[in-house]
Amino acid sequence: MRIAMIGTGYVGLVSGACFADFGHSVVCVDKDKDKIERLLRGEIPIFEPGLDRLVAENVEAGRLSFTTDLAEGMKGVEAVFIAVGTPSRRGDGHADLSYVYAATEEVAALIDGYTVVVTKSTVPVGTGAEVEAIIQKVRPDLKPGEGFSVASNPEFLREGAAIDDFKRPDRVVCGVEDDRAREVLSELYRPLYLNETPIVFTRRVTSELIKYAANAFLATKITFINEMADLCEKVGADVQAVARGIGLDKRIGSKFLHAGPGYGGSCFPKDTLALVRTAQQHGAPVKIVESVVEVNAARKQSMAARVKAAAGGDLSGKTVAVLGLAFKPNTDDMRDSPSLDIVPALVRDGATVRAHDPEAMGEARKHFGDTITYCDGAYEAMQGADVLVIITEWDEFRALDLGRARELLSAPVIVDLRNIYPPAEMAEKGWAYTSIGR
Ligand code: UDX
């Protein structure tokens, strides 16, 4: 099958490369000339394990190509995926759909033969209908279901595990309004039938809601265990044992019950907020999700106080070593990362911050400028620091040489916001060790 993927951001690039790897012929289209030139040279603009090889192999095999020319990209395609950005609009938290609508107009003008236009970006409930209306306006000669169809096919990729998530998903969700679109999407995902991946076909609006419901539910699960962690600290219970104790109940499930500094990233914060707004607009407020948004924001803001407390209640003149700035390991993404709340708060409290992240140093500079010191490695960050804080659980922070750390730090103080180390063992070794909910 021949398809076009509009937008070479995270979702577009990963999906495009994976569809090509399935054997389809994929043209990735982006307006950003510089980005396309870099991709043509084999440079991958984002950090995602395995993506560089996947892109290179499929370009080499002639199944994957890049262009800035949409007309070129759309030649002979059976489906066009819209995977452009949908940032939160400043002020009201609504998803900004201007890129989606602009892409739709351009696509509409170029439709030549039956084409399924698929929204892959996370778009608010009802966007599919809007996209269909735009196409009809631009092309009154085309009828939905005959000249074109608009489908919804949300993605559930996790950064850092995106390729595996794409190729071995728990399920694929496709929202369609007619059989023709259903056939095209079935064909596109045929390679997944081999490993018996459930393909859930629904109406378009339902598919749009599934994406938001899934992310809001996961964000709720995390927020729930984070609140349990706070309660554990008060009553002397262990949140990890609580998570295991409830998670073994199959109705609850053990995943996404890891307490930490609050969720971040490009999806949960944006999608929970968008769902809250949509629900309010339709007069069916989602109060639980509203609370989740509020509780999580407050949680991220409250983490710096733990560092202050561990440092004896005053950070002025103290040096804090920070390990991990990305919102989670295996990504350079810092969008809504807890570090964006924690680091500036430490600086405001008078601390000198020495930070290291294996991939996000470039991103970090854009946020923190020269307010902190950027270190080449974990141990360099620890040099002369009074407190060590672990914000992101990168593998390389999971087995630190604590003897060496002890020599480098001025005091044996660790604030571990990801519960990497066993508290009893740390206490035995003489560390003043603070973690989450234990
Ligand atoms: C998420 C969804 O998992 C994915 O399906 C969707 O397509 C996009 O959003 P992602 O944002 O890449 O993916 O990361 P994820 O691994 O889900 O983590 C999100 C945030 O939750 C991170 O800040 C992470 O640290 C936090 N988290 C996750 C926890 O604090 N505890 C957990 O148990 C799990």
Query: What whole-number distance in Å separates Cα of residue 62 and Cα of residue 290?
Result: 47
What one-letter code names the amino acid at 38?
R
Ligand 1 neighbour 308 (Cβ under 6 A): no
pLDDT at 194 (0 to 100): 83
pLDDT tens, position by position, 54-104: 999 999 999 999 999 999 999 999 999 999 998 877 777 677 899 999 999
pLDDT at 230 (0 to 100): 98
Cβ atoms 103, 30 nearer than 8 A: no
pLDDT tens, position by position, 322-366: 999 999 999 999 999 999 999 999 999 999 999 999 999 999 999
pLDDT tens, position by position, 364-398: 999 999 999 999 999 999 999 999 999 999 999 99
pLDDT at 239 (0 to 100): 98
Query: What whole-number distance in Å separates Cα of residue 37 and Cα of residue 13?
Result: 14
Ligand 1 neighbour 224 (Cβ under 6 A): no
| CA 271 to ligand 1 centroid distance, Å | 12
40 phi/psi in degrees, rounded to 5: -65, -30
pLDDT at 347 (0 to 100): 98
**Is 51's pLDDT higher than 90?**
yes
Query: What whole-number distance in Å separates Cα of residue 434 and Cα of residue 388?
Result: 10
Same fold for the pair 213-293 and 303-434:
no
| 270 annotated binding-site participant | yes
Ligand 1 neighbour 222 (Cβ under 6 A): yes
Cβ atoms 160, 49 nearer than 8 A: yes
**Is 189's pLDDT higher than 90?**
yes
Per CATH, the number for 213-293 is: 1.10.1040.10
pLDDT tens, position by position, 8-50: 999 999 999 999 999 999 999 999 999 999 999 999 998 899 9
Query: What whole-number distance in Å separates Cα of residue 159 and Cα of residue 333?
Result: 9
Ligand 1, atom 6: closest residue by C-alpha? 156
Ligand 1 neighbour 173 (Cβ under 6 A): no
| CA 16 to ligand 1 centroid distance, Å | 22
ipTM: 0.96
Cβ atoms 177, 149 nearer than 8 A: yes
Cβ atoms 118, 80 nearer than 8 A: yes
| 158 annotated binding-site participant | yes
| 164 annotated binding-site participant | no
Q: Which residues are catalytic?
A: 267
| CA 286 to ligand 1 centroid distance, Å | 21
pLDDT tens, position by position, 157-169: 998 999 999 999 9
User: Residue with structure tokens 């092309």?
Assistant: 139
pLDDT at 86 (0 to 100): 86
Ligand 1 neighbour 260 (Cβ under 6 A): yes
Domain 2-196, CATH homologous superfamily name and number: NAD(P)-binding Rossmann-like Domain (3.40.50.720)
Query: What whole-number distance in Å separates Cα of residue 126 and Cα of residue 52?
Result: 35
Ligand 1, atom 24: closest residue by C-alpha? 263
pLDDT at 81 (0 to 100): 98
Alpha carbon separation from 317 to 312, 349, 373 (Å, rounded): 12, 9, 15
**Is 4's pLDDT higher than 80?**
yes
pLDDT tens, position by position, 400-411: 999 999 999 999
pLDDT at 229 (0 to 100): 98
For the CA of 392, the nearest atom of ligand 1? 25
Mutate to test the pocket of ligand 1, among 120, 121, 158, 210 (most ligand atoms within 8 A of CB): 158
For the CA of 159, the nearest atom of ligand 1? 12
| CA 266 to ligand 1 centroid distance, Å | 9
* SS3 of the chain: CEEEEECCCHHHHHHHHHHHHCCCEEEEECCCHHHHHHHHCCCCCCCCCCHHHHHHHHHHCCCEEEECCHHHHCCCCCEEEECCCCCECCCCCCECCHHHHHHHHHHHHHCCCCEEEEECCCCCCCHHHHHHHHHHHHCCCCCECCCEEEEECCCCCCCCCHHHHHHCCCCEEEECCCHHHHHHHHHHCHHHHCCCCCEEEECHHHHHHHHHHHHHHHHHHHHHHHHHHHHHHHHCCCHHHHHHHHHCCCCCCCCCCCCCCCCCCCCHHHHHHHHHHHHHHCCCCCHHHHHHHHHHHHHHHHHHHHHHHHCCCCCCCCEEEEECCCCCCCCCCCCCCCHHHHHHHHHHCCCEEEEECCCCHHHHHHHHCCCCEECCCHHHHHCCCCEEEECCCCHHHCCCCHHHHHHHCCCCEEEECCCCCCHHHHHHCCCEEECCCC
**In this structure, CATH architecture of domain 303-434:** 3-Layer(aba) Sandwich (3.40)
Ligand 1 neighbour 159 (Cβ under 6 A): yes
- Mean pLDDT over residues 207-213, rounded? 97
**Is 214's pLDDT higher than 90?**
yes
pLDDT at 399 (0 to 100): 95
- Mean pLDDT over residues 188-203, rounded? 94
pLDDT confidence of 297, banded at 50, 70, 90? very high
Ligand 1 neighbour 166 (Cβ under 6 A): no
Ligand 1, atom 20: closest residue by C-alpha? 263
The domain locations on the chain are 2-196, 213-293, 303-434
Q: CA geometry: angle at 310 spanning 305 and 314, to 5°?
A: 70
Mutate to test the pocket of ligand 1, among 164, 328, 331 (most ligand atoms within 8 A of CB): 328
Ligand 1 neighbour 212 (Cβ under 6 A): no
pLDDT at 95 (0 to 100): 79
pLDDT at 403 (0 to 100): 97
pLDDT at 256 (0 to 100): 98
pLDDT at 391 (0 to 100): 98
| CA 263 to ligand 1 centroid distance, Å | 7
pLDDT at 89 (0 to 100): 77
pTM for the model stands at 0.94
